[in-house]
Amino acid sequence: MTKSSVSDYKHLVVAIDGPVASGKTAVGRELARRLGWKLFDTGIMYRAATWHALRKGVHLDEDESVTELIRDSEFQLTPHSDDESVELDVYVDGDNATPHLRQPEVESGVPTVAAIAGVRVLMVEIQQAQANRGCMIVVGRDIGTVVLPKAPVKIYLDASEEVRARRRAAEQNSGTDEATVLKATQRRDRRDRGRATSPLVAASDAVRLDTSDLSLEQAVDAAEVIIRKRIPDLAPTETTASAS
């Protein structure tokens, strides 16, 4: 990444990292709404890559084949068609992958694709270019350490394994018991933290925020306080104005 691109995004971007079900996307979405920014959940890139590989018949455990496919494909991010949405849609070779990102086969395959070093290198380039537009909450697992190391605000969200498993089970809404989801969450944690490329780790200058005992609104409030301390010239929102 060039020095000029770093200087472009550094004042108007927030990097949020954390393990699965720590609240990154939910908190990031509400923060984006409050600030009038966009939310860039970088996980959609890896989901889109997984969906693309599956539809092309590429085996997900063939690192070189998946990397070559992603290198030869065009990924584009555009604002969601709903004007009130803060989220982005992801297109692959002109096809909107967004409606397919929560398919069961994508859910099960994305950890494998996300661990491929070549894929991560390619995705980081796209993520940096997108963040360079500014006014963006960027969430993921290596944002503060790899994607946006010069971001002025870095927040590392966390929660206990039990709380995260409970949230994950509620999200899936499939009748899966929490004990099974807990084991899956622990496996995902080990994989994310132990991968050779861009492991999940809190940046040294990130502010840690444990959401275990916080409601969504409380977590968003706490994150907004962190942001405004680091970027004090942001315009107040209705929430902050009413609280003052």
> The domain that contains 78 carries what CATH number?
3.40.50.300
Q: Is residue 167 part of a domain?
A: yes
- 208: helix, strand or coil: strand
Q: Is residue 238 part of a domain?
A: no
Q: Is residue 236 part of a domain?
A: no
Query: What is the reported pLDDT for 191?
Result: 86
The encoded tokens of residue 134 equal 């500014």
Beta-carbon-side half-sphere exposure of residue 202 (alpha carbons within 13 Å): 14
**pLDDT tens, position by position, 209-238:** 999 999 999 999 999 999 999 998 887 765
Q: Given a cut of 70, is residue 241 above it in pLDDT?
A: no
Q: What is the mean pLDDT of residues 114-120?
A: 95
Q: Is residue 234 part of a domain?
A: no
Q: How far is CA 115 from the centre of its chain?
A: 15
Q: Is residue 206 part of a domain?
A: yes
**pLDDT tens, position by position, 169-184:** 887 766 677 888 889 8
Q: Is residue 94 part of a domain?
A: yes
User: Closest by alpha carbon to 24, among 12, 42, 46?
Assistant: 42
Q: Is residue 242 part of a domain?
A: no
Q: What is the mean pLDDT of residues 51-70?
A: 98
Question: What sections of the chain are H helices per DSSP?
Answer: 3-9, 24-35, 43-55, 63-71, 104-114, 117-131, 161-172, 178-194, 216-230, 238-243
Pairwise CA distance, residues 142 & 120, whole Å: 10
User: Closest by alpha carbon to 99, among 87, 84, 86?
Assistant: 87
Q: How many domains does the chain have?
A: 1
Query: What is the reported pLDDT for 239?
Result: 54
Q: Is residue 200 part of a domain?
A: yes
pLDDT band at 104 (very low <50, low <70, confident <90, very high): very high
Strands 13-17 and 136-140: parallel
Q: Given a cut of 60, is residue 7 above it in pLDDT?
A: no
Q: What is the mean pLDDT of residues 73-91?
A: 92
Pairwise CA distance, residues 204 & 137, whole Å: 19
Show the domain range for 157.
Answer: 3-227
- The pTM of the full predicted model, rounded to 2 decimals, is 0.88
| Cβ neighbours for 163, distance < 8 A, ≥ 6 positions apart | 21, 211, 212
